[in-house]
Structure 1
């Protein structure tokens, strides 16, 4: 990632903790909740690796290709689960957008990105395509605001059943939502550095 080393370290720690939290959430779970937790953990750890400040630890030139393959595979996995539809469709669609955004950032930040041609000859500008970056920033800004709004406690009338309904979070759906919110904020911050 491009940007100050301190913010890179903070972002890396935030993503690693979110990934570890998602992974810990999968213990004792089955089915969709376990799959979602593992996918979120992989995204968190991948984001942490990508956020590692290049000023202190220079990633090898092939690291960006590994990120592209890893997150491309995650995008294909999300597409596989989207085909089934169901009430988890929005969650899988979000994973698809996130995985494709990580592929986009890996390609945009690869050594020599945008240097394959001259300005005006079809080469993307260094750091990515401004319109696509702007659309992803808008998506994640809205996602973060919506997720934060769902974390605000709402008074419940006595005798009314409460449903977590967030796409799988086990016994503590607010932890799953907080993890997703954290990674949404981190993705927004990473996109800002393009």
Structure 2
């Protein structure tokens, strides 16, 4: 993406760490959590690769097109999974945003050079789709952040209504939510640079 180098490296670190944690979550004993963690790991590592500063590595246009295909496949998988759970719709939006950004990078005249903007961004500013995605991810970040506040989680149930004490660290819903929050913050930062 296009932006100052230090924040870009912080974004790379955040996304790579989130992807690594999601890989560890794939060891869960719950099949649905393993599947979700796998998709989130792909998203985290893809975001990390996309956030590498252009001054360090400029990917060829075919790499961005390949990324669009990979995230398109992830989006189709999320669409199929959405019939069983609403949270997969967020994965679908994430995958769609990644396809959009990868396609914009592939269509960019310099394929990721910091000297050029994304395709479709001229004197009129960011396209409408970028604005819609920015609003979605800003709302998601705020909503997920509120859900991580301990008082909100406790208010939903009485004593002992939380997760069982024997649940492993990979099965804890608040950690999975924090992982999704970190990726949404990363996605918001990447969209802001478009």
Q: TM-score range by the shorter chain?
A: 0.7 to 0.9
- Corresponding residue of 1:40: 40
Distance 1:81 1:102 in 2: 18
- Residue 17 of structure 2 corresponds to 17
What residue in structure 1 maps to residue 173 of structure 2? 173
Deviation at 1:76, TM superposition (A): 0.8
Structure 2: 5+ residue stretches without partners: 110-118
For the Cα contact (< 8 Å) 1:19–1:44, is it kept in 2? yes
Structure 1 spans left out of the alignment, 5+ residues: 114-122
Q: Distance in 1 between matches of 2:173 and 2:121?
A: 41
1:66 to partner: Cα distance: 1.2
Q: CA RMSD in A?
A: 2.4
2:117 paired with 1:137: no
Distance 1:65 1:162 in 2: 44
Q: Is the 8 A contact 2:65 2:102 kept in 1?
A: yes
SS where residue 62 of structure 1 aligns? helix
One of 72, 93, 96 as aligned partner of 1:97: 93
Mark the CA change 1:170 to 1:10 in structure 2 (over 3 Å): closer, same or farther.
closer
Which aligned pairs between 1:183-194 and structure 2 lie closer than 5 A?
183-194=183-194
Which of 100, 106, 126 matches 2:102? 106
Q: After TM superposition, where is structure 1 displaced by more than 6 Å over at least 4 residues in a row?
A: none
User: Which residue number corresponds to residue 147 of structure 1?
Assistant: 144
For these two proteins, the number of residue pairs brought into alignment is 178
CA change 1:103–1:162 in 2 (3 A) is same
Question: Is 2:27–2:170's contact at 8 Å kept on the other side of the alignment?
Answer: no
Is residue 43 of structure 2 the alignment partner of residue 68 of structure 1? no
Aligned partners of 2:120 and 2:127 also within 8 Å: no
**Residue 24 of structure 2 contacts residue 170 of structure 2 at CA under 8 Å; is this kept in 1?**
no
Q: TM-score under structure 1 normalisation? A: 0.83
Deviations 1:123-159 (A, max 9, x none): 8335x95211010000000000000001000245763
- Which residue of structure 1 lines up, in the alignment, with residue 116 of structure 2? none
